[in-house]
Structure 1
Amino acid sequence: MHWVQIYNPFGNMLVSFLVACIPIVYFFWALAIKKMKGYLAGLSTVLIALIESVLVYKMPVLLAVRATLFGAVQGLWPIGWIIITALFLYQLTVASGHFTIIQDSIASITQDRRLQALLIAFSFGAFLEGTAGYGAPVAIAAGLLIGLGFNPFYAAGLCLIANTAPVAFGAVGIPILTAAQVSGLDAHALSQMVGRQVPIVSMFVPFWLIFIMAGWKKTIEVLPAILVCGLSFAGVQFFTSNFMGPELPDIASSILSIVAMVAFLKVWKPKSTFRFKDERSVVSPGLGINEQAATIEAVKHHSFKELFIAWSPFVTLIVIISLWGGVTAFKTLLAKATFLLPVPGLNLVIEKAQPIVSQLTPYEAIFKFDILGATGTAILVVCILSKFLLGMSWKIWFATLGKTLKELIIPLTMIVSVIGFAYIENYSGMSATLGLGLASTGAAFPFVSPLIGWLGVFLTGSDTSSNALFSNLQKITGHQIGVDPTLLVASNSSGGVTAKMISPQSIAVATAATGQVGKEGSLFMFTFKHSLLLVAIIGIISLLQAYVLQWMIP
């Protein structure tokens, strides 16, 4: 049995587009207005998408069910696996009692919440995105912020927004490499083009992050640190993406950003130490500024051995993740335990049609079960090593694992449902209808192009998946309207990064990592307006590069 996707089921693109929007609009309503719990919103959205795929798109029932179940399994592996192990690692540092030492060591660099957010949510989170991707940056960085005293909801929101800058080059450049493979364009040229868009956002995000936290006046107060953080990150991101390729920008820029920030904070301090409303805003010593009963909390100092042991899980994480994702010989060895399992009754049964592809193309459905190569497995290795590094008993280790699994049951249910929703959207052709509808905007398409990538990441939770879904559409539309396809395919990826903060998958990870399960709707509304602002910025950049700044296109 073979089934060919239909992209215009009503024979009118506008009507088909509006009907294809129904599941997404419902999901927005369920989360943002109805304030429905995340897993209920996800499950009910899947049901609506399933019904529409069968009744409107004439997708055979068995194919629709198989596609949804395939997505659900992907939600557990590799995505759920990363979330479990990342949260488990954080919980181990807490259960062992060593997290207080980590708190003290960060506080010795700065007690200011604004600067802590830059260091951890932005710079350290970018490193995790560059090496691991998926949910690891939000899960681990948000956990660290909570341990430092951040409000859990704020920690989740800030980490989601901070995770914008590195996503296009995440997981050692996989999104760019995927876009090149799907579109047939040169990977280095795409890396250069994205590297002439995203660094502008990378300079803006640190400022915006602090502005959200503290308002205009308190943001200007730490502007020197924001500039050091943003310019060091964006500068290296631009250089590496343009002259070295898509694999290194996140890793190199995040490391240099952390080093630059730490070095700068050794010689510079803000005039006041910012805390949230339920904390005290205090004055740094020696600056001659008086505030009522304002004092700096004493920071407990620890020996090098204590600091080394406390930080050893995260140092080990950096080493293991870099080994897992960056050493070709090691990746080849791990790949021997990778199994590619075609999904029975789904693999190569559905065919993609024009104009999404140039000719009928069978849609693969292959489950990649990378037992050793998965990022979650790398983090599990770190968790096992941490048992010995932190001097924990197996009893406490397993008890912490059990506690972590118990806390993640409901969040994993949401993740399974939203990935199932993403897959039925893709395999039924609904997501292609949405892309084609937006692609019919003519000369304004360069502005809309990033919005297609934004939509793809919202649906799939992944810039890689969005590029796989829409890169060829971007290329074809570029040829039709006379705009360089390299720009539009790159804009798909650049626009996609701004939706990472609102994708249901990311929201589920954030609420799970911060104990905010049930507040998915509130977190979605917190990040949504920022997502729209950033995708509009990318849209303007893309439009200018298409018609005014064409010299920026490689």
Structure 2
Amino acid sequence: MFEQDFDPVSGSLALSSIFAALPLLTVFVLLGVLRMKAQWASLIALAVSIGVAVLVYSMPVGMALSAAAEGAVFGLFPIMWIVVNAIWVYNMTVTTGHFDVLRRSFGTVSDDQRIQAIIIAFCFGALLEALAGFGTPVAISSVMLMALGFHPVKAAVVSLVANTAPVAFGAIAVPITTLAAITGIPADELGAMVGRQTPVLALFVPLVLVFLVDGRRGVRQMWLPALVCGSAFAVGQFLASNYFSVELTDIVAALVAAGAVVLLLRVWTPSFELTAERMDEEEAQHRVAEASGNAPSGGTAGGGGTGTTTTRAPVADSGVEVLKAYAPYLAIIVIFTLAQVPFLKDALAAGTVTFPWPGLDIVNPDTGEAPSATTFAFAWLPSAGTLLLFAGLVTMLVLKVAPSAAVKAYAGTLDQLKWAILTVASVLALAYVMNFSGQTITIGMWIAGTGTFFAFLSPVLGWLGVAVTGSDTSANALFGTLQVTAAQSAGLDPTLLASANTSGGVLGKMISPQNLAIAAAATGLAGKEGDLFRKVLGWSLGFLLVMCVLVYLQSTSVLGWMVP
């Protein structure tokens, strides 16, 4: 039996936190400074975490390795099981040519890449987050943007930044329901509070996406649709989470936001349309100007890679072909929606096998119980990945993909994602070693010892948890109880700080090595995760600061009226 010790270095949380943070510092330095490939950076950081667990936290070697094994398996299932099947569906649409039909269909809404970023990365990505989560929105929206002519780096960065505000209510609000189970606070109360925090982010994210696509010019020309989209999403998220349904919050918000943008485009058109062809021309001119030392001060932002779009003759797709192009995504929406029908949800839940993970005899000294994650739930039937597999089978039928071609596409998908699979398995192994040895809780307890100022730092814990695990659900399971305990000790509102864990966590999503690996794999940038990390880190920290200030003010009389 291994009893966790949260201050193993001279009984000091501060000194212990220095050692506990070493694995995180390792992965961030290797990725962001040394530009090492994510799979190797993650493996090295995993070795560091095992070393800290064994040498500093006195965790038995066999137990540390068992914890790493459970984390790696969790990385493979359900996380990469979801991503692999999502990309497989996409690859089949590419093979049959229907993704080009979908691209042209989106082009009929607007050929402007700035509008496409708002509709696809933010609105459609939010819908995918609502239904599946776990990297699915980044994987699918980034390849959709590439199909519309976005450069790979820009498509990945836009998709990563867009995957923020919806995350708290992702996968039918699993982060909220998990937090409720961990803390004992009703899910409706937590959802209502989160619905008074993340909508503030939603107001600004579309503006940031426009800036990433087209710099300051994009903000000047596209502030109206960006604000309409962000405001519609924010209002939809607030109303749904507070007065309708926590589980359906993101579905409502995504549809409302998309509808608002489409309606706006019926009465408003931009003075300048930034098509893929025009973007390629401008970036080529910008590179020439840079080489000659005459680069303009404005121009585009967030680009990268080599343009692949050429001017095409207009193609008229039949209504049947357009319907087929949308069919895979309609199938995903229908299947995931049906999976929430009570009797079907219960039937799917029967396909879950739960068992204690071998070799993890661990006890938390504060609760006297083993951490819940020592029990592994193999949800082979209700998993989002399995539901995506069903959607893939529907796609085969609708698009008339032969079984042999579907199997070939699946094998190609596995080859495409091989490094992402290794990275995600390594990152989750790292997270489980840190969690079970006590390293993560050490950092959390040290931050929580700041008294009333903890209201400002509370979102940082959620951000840290998601940055490590790649999951807002996991971050809530990790720090939810700690947030409530710290709030009670400091005389703060437990619901506010528990919710802040979720709201801060959404901002760690874009820098999570897991999500970076997914984005890189989906856009053909495997090995460039460090480049993506540097491009999104500033946005992650900037939004985190906004959330910290918001939560702190909500804990005072200034914005205390926002707390239900």
Q: TM-score of the superposition, structure 1-length normalised?
A: 0.94
Aligned match for 1:531, one of 535, 540, 543: 540
Q: Quote the Cα distance in structure 2 between the aligned partners of 1:233 and 1:101.
A: 27
Shift of 1:36: 0.8
* TM-superposition CA deviations, 1:480-505 (whole Å, max 9, x none): 11111111111111000000001111
1:261-410 to structure 2, matched below 5 A, reads 261-275=261-275, 279-280=280-281, 299-324=314-339, 326-346=340-360, 349-354=361-366, 359-364=367-372, 365-410=374-419
1:18 paired residue number: 18
Deviation, 1:395, is: 2.6
Q: Which runs of 4+ in 1 moved over 6 A?
A: none
SS class of match (1:17): helix
Q: Is the 8 A contact 1:453 1:467 kept in 2?
A: yes
Q: Which residue in 2 is equivalent to 1:176?
A: 176
Matched, 1:482 2:491: yes
Which sits farther off after the overlay, 332-341 or 54-63?
332-341
Q: What is the Cα deviation at residue 280 of structure 1?
A: 4.0
Give SS of 1:271's match.
Answer: coil
Aligned 8 A contact 2:145 2:155 in 1: yes
Report the residue type matching 1:269 in the other structure: T
Q: 1:243 to 1:185 in 2, by over 3 A?
A: same
Deviation at 1:414, TM superposition (A): 0.6
Give the Cα separation in 1 of the matches to 2:500 and 2:127: 23
Distance in 2, matches of 1:337 and 1:113, equals 43
For 2:306, the equivalent position in structure 1 comes to none
Q: 1:152 and 1:307 mapped to 2: Cα distance? A: 25
Contact 1:192 1:245 in 2 (8 A): no
**Aligned residue for 1:421?**
430
- 1:392 positional shift: 2.1
Give how far 1:281 is off: 6.5
Cα deviation code 1:493-521 (max 9, x no counterpart): 10000000011111111111111100011
Q: Deviations over 1:111-130 (max 9, x none)?
A: 00000000000000000111
SS at 2:6's partner residue?
Answer: coil
Deviates most, 103-112 or 436-445: 436-445
Which stretches in structure 1 are left out of the alignment for 5+ residues? 283-295
- Matched with 2:102 is 102
Q: Which amino acid in the other structure matches residue 2 of structure 2? A: W
Summarize deviations over 1:15-37 as a string: whole Å, max 9, x none: 11111111111111111111111
Identify the residue that residue 300 of structure 2 maps to in structure 1.
none
- CA deviations over 1:371-412 (Å, ceiling 9, x no partner): 221111111111111112112222322221111111111110
| Alpha-carbon distance in 2 for matches of 1:280, 1:254 | 33
The answer to whether the 8 A contact 1:177-1:246 is kept is: no
Gap regions ≥5 residues in structure 2: 284-310
8 A Cα contact 1:275 1:281, kept in partner: no
Greater Cα shift, 44-53 or 15-24: 15-24
Letter aligned with residue 395 of structure 1: S
Contact 1:422 1:460 in 2 (8 A): yes
Report if aligned partners of 1:461, 1:505 keep a CA contact under 8 Å in 2: yes
- Which of 392, 411, 414 does residue 420 from structure 2 map onto? 411
Distance in 2 (alpha carbons) for counterparts of 1:457 and 1:61: 26
- Name the SS of the counterpart of 2:354 in structure 1: strand
Any idea what the Cα deviations from partners look like across 1:98-142, whole Å, max 9, x if unmatched? 111111111111000000000000000000111111011111111
Offset of 1:161 from its aligned partner?
0.6
Deviation at 1:529, TM superposition (A): 0.8
Aligned counterpart, 1:292: none
Secondary structure of 1:498 counterpart: helix
Q: After the TM superposition, which of the residue ranges 155-164 and 433-442 deviates more from structure 2?
A: 433-442
Structure 2 CA distance, aligned partners of 1:204 and 1:353? 43
Cα distance in 2, alignment partners of residues 51 and 445 from structure 1: 30
Which residue in 1 is equivalent to 2:287? none
Conserved 8 A contact 1:105-1:301: no
For residues 340 and 122 of structure 1, the distance between their equivalents in structure 2, rounded to whole angstroms, comes to 35
Q: Which residue of 2 aligns with 1:3?
A: 2
Contact 2:233 2:257 in 1 (8 A): yes
Show CA shifts across 1:287-310 (max 9, x none).
Answer: xxxxxxxxx976433221121112
1:293 alignment counterpart: none
Residue 147 of structure 2 corresponds to which residue in structure 1? 147
1:353 aligned partner, one-letter code: P
Q: Show the 5 A alignment for 1:104-183.
A: 104-183=104-183
Letter of the aligned partner of 1:452 in structure 2?
L
Query: Number of aligned pairs?
Result: 534
- Which whole-Å CA distance do the structure 2 matches of 1:387 and 1:113 have between them? 30
Q: Which has the larger displacement, 70-79 or 505-514?
A: 505-514
Query: Could you list the per-position Cα deviations for residues 221-244 of structure 1 after superposition, in whole angstroms to 9, with x for gaps in the alignment?
Result: 111211221111110100011112
1:187 positional shift: 1.7
Distance in 1, Cα, partners of 2:555 & 2:530: 36
Q: Which residue of 1 aligns with 2:514?
A: 505
The answer to whether the 8 Å contact 1:174/1:464 transfers is yes
CA contact (8 A) 2:204 2:227 kept: no
Structure-2 separation of matches of 1:161 and 1:481:
33
Task: Say which SS state the counterpart of residue 367 (structure 1) adopts.
Answer: strand
* Contact 2:154 2:212 survives alignment (8 Å): no
Q: Which moved more, 1:179-188 or 1:536-545?
A: 179-188
Indicate which of 547, 555, 559 corresponds to 1:549: 559
The share of aligned pairs that are identical, in percent, is 40
Distance in 1, matches of 2:97 and 2:231, equals 36
Structure 1 match to 2:298: none
Supply the RMSD in Å over aligned alpha carbons.
1.6
| TM-score normalised by structure 2 residue count | 0.92
Which has the higher mean CA deviation after the structures are superposed, 133-142 or 211-220? 211-220
Pick which of 208-217 and 190-199 moved more.
208-217
Shift of 1:345: 2.2
CA separation in 2, counterparts of 1:446 and 1:371? Answer: 39
Residues 213-232 of structure 1 aligned to structure 2 (within 5 Å): 213-232=213-232
Q: CA deviation at 1:220?
A: 2.1
Q: Give the CA deviation at 1:191.
A: 1.0
Name the SS of the counterpart of 1:141 in structure 2.
helix
Deviation at 1:343, TM superposition (A): 1.0
CA contact 1:35–1:521 (8 Å) conserved in 2: yes
Distance 2:370 2:218 in 1: 55
Q: Given that residues 274 and 281 in structure 1 are in contact (C-alpha distance below 8 angstroms), is that contact kept between their aligned partners in structure 2?
A: no
Separation of aligned partners in 1, 2:365 and 2:215: 50
Offset of residue 477 of structure 1: 0.9
Distance (Å, rounded) in 1 between the aligned partners of 2:39 and 2:458: 31
Q: Is the 8 A contact 1:104 1:299 kept in 2?
A: no
* Distance (Å, rounded) in 2 between the aligned partners of 1:550 and 1:201: 18
Report the secondary structure of 1:273's partner residue: coil
Contact 1:109 1:266 in 2 (8 A): no
Alpha-carbon offset, residue 190 of structure 1 = 1.1
